Amino acid sequence: QKEVEQNSGPLSVPEGAIASLNCTYSDRGSQSFFWYRQYSGKSPELIMSIYSNGDKEDGRFTAQLNKASQYVSLLIRDSQPSDSATYLCAVSGYSTLTFGKGTMLLVSP
Partner 1 sequence: GAGVSQSPSNKVTEKGKDVELRCDPISGHTALYWYRQSLGQGLEFLIYFQGNSAPDKSGLPSDRFSAERTGGSVSTLTIQRTQQEDSAVYLCASSLERENSPLHFGNGTRLTVT
Residues that bind partner 1 (CB under 8 A): 31-32, 34, 42-46, 49, 51, 88, 90, 92-95, 97, 99-102
Q: Minimum distance between the CB of residue 16 and partner 1, rounded to whole angstroms?
A: 29
For partner 1, the closer of residues 26 and 32 by Cβ is: 32
Q: What distances in angstroms separate CA 34 from CA 2, 37, 109, one per listed residue? A: 16, 10, 28
For partner 1, the closer of residues 20 and 98 by Cβ is: 98
- Contact between 55 and 64 (Cβ < 8 Å): yes
Q: Which residues contact 5 (CB under 8 A, 6 or more apart)?
A: 23, 24, 25, 100
Q: Minimum distance between the CB of residue 15 and partner 1, rounded to whole angstroms?
A: 25
Q: Minimum distance between the CB of residue 102 and partner 1, rounded to whole angstroms?
A: 6
- In the chain, how long is the greatest CA-to-CA distance? 42
